[in-house]
Amino acid sequence: MKLLWGAFVNNKSFLEEHARLTRRYFMGLVTAGGLLSGAEALAVTQENTKKVKPEKAGARPEPYFTPSMNFRDVSRGKPLPHSLPDEKKREVGLTRDTWRLEVLADPDHPAKIGNPLTRATNNALDFAGLLKLGEKHTIRFAKVMTCLNLGCPLGMGLWEGVALRDVVWLAQPEDKLRRVFYHGYHNNDPKQVFRSSLPVGRVLEDPPGLPPVILCYKLNGEWLDSERGGPVRMVVPEDYGFKSVKWLSHLFLTNLATSNDTYADQGNDVDSPMKTFAATLSIPRTIKAGEALAVTGYAQVGISGLSKVQVSLEPATPAKTVNNIWKDAELLSAPARWTGLMGETILPGTHGFDATGKPQSWPMRLTNAHWATVLPGVPAGEYTFRCRTIDAQGIAQPLPRPFRNSGHAKIETVTVSVQ
């Protein structure tokens, strides 16, 4: 937690951006003759910046794009591959000049391939070869990295690399290919291997609006560092983090139709794409009777998109929502500056952005969006504040459920005491 506070103190720009966006919204309410006086609006925006809850990973005050070192690290491995000494990294192919990727038929359920890429035959793909593919076609997209087993995002990234399909084709698959299995380096210990997989259909075609699955070598415009899975990791745009295997070392082309993911062995639903949900960033825990309640937060825009953030404030007893009175919060526009990137601008050709670096639509799937709201004053008592999202199909998200094998699916609730 101390470390997170360190990041918090050193990286004010996300907070500043959040405050700037929310201030514009609150001041707008004043000129519209709304709920707040000018003095109140100033007071809540100043208050807001003090009340951010840095203990929530995705809520960390940080630039819009999270610096690589500020991602929360949940990697497995003893020792952690990124903690190996440089010499060992060079020995096992964890540096850019020693990295090799083998592309093989799965020994147990082989696909028929014409050109396996192996170290033994000296044709494994090296970093220069990967960059060469990248010269022909680089893929770049924004995506929030979220762990299926945690509630909050680990970090927001601009990921860059080569389409996985371009690498699969190098191996000349001919027949009996149903899935691509992929492994990351784990100390040459079979028990430690971290692996995941995708149906070949997802590798070869992209669902509407989604970028390709990539072999990623850059994050936020810089070489992917060792802690984030460098030199090369998989990044699967629409999925939770466990599909984005780090320290990528092997692709196995298989005729097996089922997943062999490490996360499947651990009791998780491995076919669950990223959910849409809302969370608070700043909310007062106590207010005076009759005083307006100003709240700000962010939403993770999952696979189902985002059309609205909604909030409710109800007496804390009974514990369940009885009235179901949801009010629309204000979804704030895209950041004006893409803080956390070199030059704070988006390069042309980035998926989902136009040639001038503006998002083609907002909110954008797979990213974080900001929201803010002001609720009218209520009589004294204990209240429960809730926030949720309405996805692009008009369905309230997340669909709450008692089991969480498919990822965090809770409506955020905060107790507010009105005195």
What residues line the site for Mo ion (CB under 5 A)?
A: 147, 241-242
Give the closest residue to 266 by CA, choosing from 375, 164, 149: 149
Residue type, 347: L
Give the residue ranges of DSSP H helices in 171-230.
Answer: 200-204
Q: For residue 110, give the DSSP letter.
A: B
Q: Is 385 in the site for ligand MTE (CB under 6 A)?
A: no
Strand 100-105 relative to strand 248-254: parallel, antiparallel, unpaired?
parallel
Q: Which does 302 bind (CB under 5 to 8 A by kind): ligand MTE, Mo ion, none?
A: none
Rounded CA-CA distance 254/107 in Å is 8
Cβ atoms of 300 and 153 within 8 Å: the answer is yes
Give the closest residue to 14 by CA, choosing from 323, 261, 344: 344
Our CB check for ligand MTE shows the closer of 228 and 408 to be: 228
Q: Is 145 in the site for ligand MTE (CB under 6 A)?
A: yes
Output Rg (C-alpha) for the chain, integer angstroms. 23
Our CB check for Mo ion shows the closer of 241 and 359 to be: 241
Residues 89-128, one symbol each (x = binds ligand MTE by CB under 6 A, - = not), give ----------------------------------------
Query: C-beta of 228: minimal distance to ligand MTE in Å?
Result: 5
Q: Is 75 in the site for ligand MTE (CB under 6 A)?
A: yes
Query: C-beta of 356: minimal distance to ligand MTE in Å?
Result: 29
284: left (phi over 0), alpha (psi -120 to 50) or beta: beta
Query: C-beta of 150: minimal distance to ligand MTE in Å?
Result: 7
Q: Which does 167 bind (CB under 5 to 8 A by kind): Mo ion, ligand MTE, none?
A: none
Q: Which does 246 bind (CB under 5 to 8 A by kind): ligand MTE, Mo ion, none?
A: ligand MTE
Both tokens assigned to 82: 């990124």
Query: C-beta of 353: minimal distance to ligand MTE in Å?
Result: 22
Determine which residue in the list 37, 38, 69, 76 makes contact with ligand MTE, applying CB under 6 A.
76
Helix 13-31, helix 38-50: angle, nearest 10: 160
| Segment contacting ligand MTE by CB under 6 A, of 71-79, 92-100, 279-287, 364-372 | 71-79
Rounded CA-CA distance 25/282 in Å is 15
Give the residue ranges of DSSP H helices in 77-126.
Answer: 86-92
Query: C-beta of 257: minimal distance to ligand MTE in Å?
Result: 23
Q: Is 156 in the site for ligand MTE (CB under 6 A)?
A: no
Alpha carbon separation from 119 to 82, 93, 126, 140 (Å, rounded): 22, 11, 10, 29
Our CB check for ligand MTE shows the closer of 23 and 60 to be: 60
Query: C-beta of 286: minimal distance to Mo ion in Å?
Result: 35
Determine which residue in the list 211, 231, 241, 297 makes contact with ligand MTE, applying CB under 6 A.
241
| Segment contacting ligand MTE by CB under 6 A, of 244-252, 277-285, 298-306, 330-338 | 244-252
Q: Is 398 in the site for ligand MTE (CB under 6 A)?
A: no
Q: Is 327 in the site for ligand MTE (CB under 6 A)?
A: no
Our CB check for Mo ion shows the closer of 130 and 154 to be: 154
Sheet containing 179-184, strands listed edge to edge, beginning at the edge strand earlier in sequence: 125-126, 100-105, 248-254, 179-184, 194-199
Give Cβ neighbours of residue 278 (< 8 Å, ≥ 6 apart): 297, 298, 299, 309, 310, 371, 387, 388, 389, 412
Determine which residue in the list 65, 99, 194, 383 makes contact with ligand MTE, applying CB under 6 A.
194
Q: Is 74 in the site for ligand MTE (CB under 6 A)?
A: yes
Binding site for ligand MTE (CB under 6 A): 71, 73-76, 145, 147, 154-155, 184, 194, 228-229, 241-242, 244-247
